[in-house]
Amino acid sequence: MTTLPILYSFRRCPYAMRARMAVAVSGVTVELREVVLRDKPPEMLEASPKGTVPVLLLPDGGVLEESLDIMRWALSQGDPEDWLTYDDQNLVSASDGPFKQALDRYKYPHRYDLIDGSAHRDAALMHLGALDTLLAAAPYLGGERPAFTDIAMFPFVRQFAATDTEWFAALPLPALQRWLSALIESDLFATIMTRYPQWKAGDAPVQFP
């Protein structure tokens, strides 16, 4: 029996979303273990003591603990849609760094002892405005179809938009809004948002995708 890579994931985590999207598009099959974050399985914590998802356990014993590493690993196994042709690490770093920091403080101001997150919302908008300008030239950052950079950034833009959907819909960011809607409505996103029960030791393996 072939041993599949094991992917610990949490459906709503944006980091896990982008990892699952890359796995799904790559054609590689993994065993998916859905995690409840307040009840993390000891098997995951043994492999990755930091306790965040996603985590990928490779058949050779290797462990990948970062979502971008999991994305690149999956696409190294297969890249039928040529996602790796557009991997802008500067854009992804800006998204994972300053934008994500501003997003967290906008969405969860109480966690940071803030009265509200409006200043951080406005800071995040600077990043989104730059994306809108880039997307005015083509439907996706990668051109006519999504690529690595699009997918690496998409779950966080989705999270920002969902914080106040009416306010976001009224923003003068038409190219970004079209981009976001296309990715949300894609078959790929529907596939990776399938609901799975919490994994417990002894459960029958769940193959993904």
Residues for the chain: how many in total?
Answer: 209
Question: Distance between CA 187 and CA 202 in Å, rounded?
Answer: 31
Q: What is the pLDDT at residue 142? A: 86
Q: What is the pLDDT at residue 1? A: 43
Listed in order, strand segments (DSSP E) in 58-137 are: 63-64
Q: Could you tell me the domains of the chain?
A: 6-80+191-208 (3.40.30.10), 83-189 (1.20.1050.10)
- In this prediction the pTM is 0.95
Q: What is the pLDDT at residue 52? A: 96
CB atoms within 10 A of CB 75: 23
DSSP single-letter state for residue 140: B
Tokens of residue 188, six digits: 């790929």
Look up residue 161 and give its amino acid. A
Buried b / exposed e over 173-201, threshold 16 CB at 10 Å, is bebbbebbebbeeeebbeebeeeeeebee
Question: Distance between CA 83 and CA 85 in Å, rounded?
Answer: 5
Question: Distance between CA 155 and CA 175 in Å, rounded?
Answer: 17
Instruction: Chunk the chain into consecutive blocks of 10 residues (it has 209) and report each block's average pLDDT, rounded to whole numbers.
Output: 87 98 97 96 95 96 97 98 96 97 96 93 96 97 95 98 97 98 98 97 95
Cis peptide before 59 (omega within 30 of 0): no
- 3-state DSSP assignment of residue 115: coil
Q: What is the pLDDT at residue 2? A: 57
Q: What is the pLDDT at residue 119? A: 95
Question: Distance between CA 81 and CA 83 in Å, rounded?
Answer: 6
Q: What is the pLDDT at residue 110? A: 93
